[in-house]
Amino acid sequence: MTTPASTTRRGRPPKGAAQLTRAGIVEATLEVIGTEGVGGVGVRAVARVLGVDPKSLYNHVDGKDGLLDAVTEHFLGSIALPPPAGDLRGDLRAIADAFRDRALLHPEAAALVLTRQLASFEGLAPIQRVLEVLRAADCDPREAVHLMRTLLAALIGTLLREVNAGPTYGTDDTEGIAERQATLEHSGLPAVAEAAPYLARFDSRAEYEYAMNLALDAAVARIENSSRISR
């Protein structure tokens, strides 16, 4: 009974002597997400990687939903926001890049976080940053909120596809590309068939570049327009 290693577990041995902490629980949850996917997260699964009784988790986290809340919180808090440099476009871009960096670090978790409402309190720091940058460019607060929401939506939509596409949909999977291209060419949809070579490929980095450039172009243009009018 002194050795608790008899329960069915694969992977690493019970965590370093087992003092249960919220941070440790988050880490364990991320491990589950990484191996079993978001769908595999659960009180029992997380307890298993911690080598601990499932019910013990209830002393630190509010059940299964609390587990998900905790990783969302952690994700949002871990975004490394760069200080604004005074250049509208560059500053917005840097915030988006910081967001993306974290999303790519934990792709499975990112999809979850992006979907859960970002209004959680931990999510306020990025919002403060974006508004700050927009205000510095003479955008009035009302428009700034609209713009921020629109930029965030574009970013999330882009990242969501990026993390969902995963490595399967990469550029180097030549036989997969060929197969998809063939399917699209025989779809009976002319515009789809015509664009098949491009539709069959997906370069995450390039798509991100394109999408962000378009979104930032639009944002910058709108701000320059409205401040010219008000002068």
Partner DNA sequence: ACCTGAACACCGTTCAAGT
In the complex, the residues that contact a second copy under the rule CB under 8 A are 111, 115, 117, 124-125, 127-128, 131-132, 135, 141-142, 144-147, 149-150, 152-158, 160-161, 164-165, 187, 189-192, 194-195, 198-199, 207, 210-211, 214-215, 217-219, 221-222
Q: How far is the CB of 26 from DNA (least distance, A)?
A: 15
Specify whether the CB–CB gap between 20 and 56 falls below 8 A: yes
Q: Which of 164, 65, 159 is nearest to 120 (CA)?
A: 65
Specify whether the CB–CB gap between 184 and 192 falls below 8 A: yes
Residue number, 47 or 114, with CB nearest to DNA: 47
150 scored as a contact of DNA (CB under 7 A): no
51 scored as a contact of DNA (CB under 7 A): no
Structural tokens at position 40: 């595999």
64 scored as a contact of DNA (CB under 7 A): yes
No. of helices (H) and no. of strands (E), the chain? 11, 0
Torsion 130-133-137-142 (CA) sign: positive
Q: From the list a second copy, DNA, none, which binds 68 (C-beta under 5 to 8 Å, kind-based)?
A: none
Q: How far is the CB of 168 from DNA (least distance, A)?
A: 21
Q: How far apart are CA 77 and CA 159, in angstroms?
A: 18
Q: How far apart are CA 166 and CA 78, in angstroms?
A: 22
Q: Which range binds DNA by CB under 7 A, 54-62, 120-128, 149-157, 209-217?
A: 54-62
User: What is the binding site for DNA (CB under 7 A)?
Assistant: 8, 19-20, 41-45, 48, 52-56, 58-60, 63-65
